[in-house]
Structure 1
Amino acid sequence: LIKAYEKGCKFDGWREYFDYDKWMEAFKECNVDPSFYANRKREYDEVLPWDFIDIGVSKRYLVNEREKASRGETTPDCRIKCTGCGIAKFIEDGECFNGANFSKVHENK
């Protein structure tokens, strides 16, 4: 990041400021292969930078969903039947879409 900054990379989230070539130069000078971070297949047990964030949905559930998606399978709408993602642990009565909680979800849109 420092090398890219030194090359003038600032406000790169804005398309008009992003300079792909400068980033590639910075990666090369620092012996960093961006494909290692962006394009490789990751193992499911790999620790990811955001793993410390707990939004309620378990990593196991996400892995299962990824596996199902690769087979072309879908998951039913959880408003009809709980799919066991884990988010219910944050809800007082443990049901995401029972009558009262379902109304709250729609009120907050």
Structure 2
Amino acid sequence: MINQDQEIGQHQRDAVADICTMIRARGLHVNQPRKAVIRALVGQKQAVTAEALWINIRLTYRISISAVYNNLNLLVKEGVAEKMVNEGTKSTYRIKPDFTIHGPQSS
């Protein structure tokens, strides 16, 4: 099995660690499926569908599509990610561009 941490750079590893720290600080658990979704989403250069993320994660980790959706929805709810609803196509997700461990930056 490929270690997902080896496939992402230091900046992305730091982002994964920051997100996990924030989630734990809010009293939520960071289990392996959740961390796999966070790693995969942080590693994306552009917004991605849940299905594409699931396919990517399944290359190295056994996870259900429902676990991917549940974790994406939690990340959206916690202000880490955003869901973009596109007419005629599937919704896409990405880490919020202004996300910091303290929440979105104010302009």
TM-score for both structures, normalised by structure 2: 0.25
Q: Which has the higher strand share?
A: 2
Q: Which has the higher helix share?
A: 2
Work out which of the two has the higher radius of gyration on C-alpha atoms and give 1 or 2: 1
TM-score for both structures, normalised by structure 1: 0.25
RCO higher in structure (CA 8 A, sep ≥6): 2
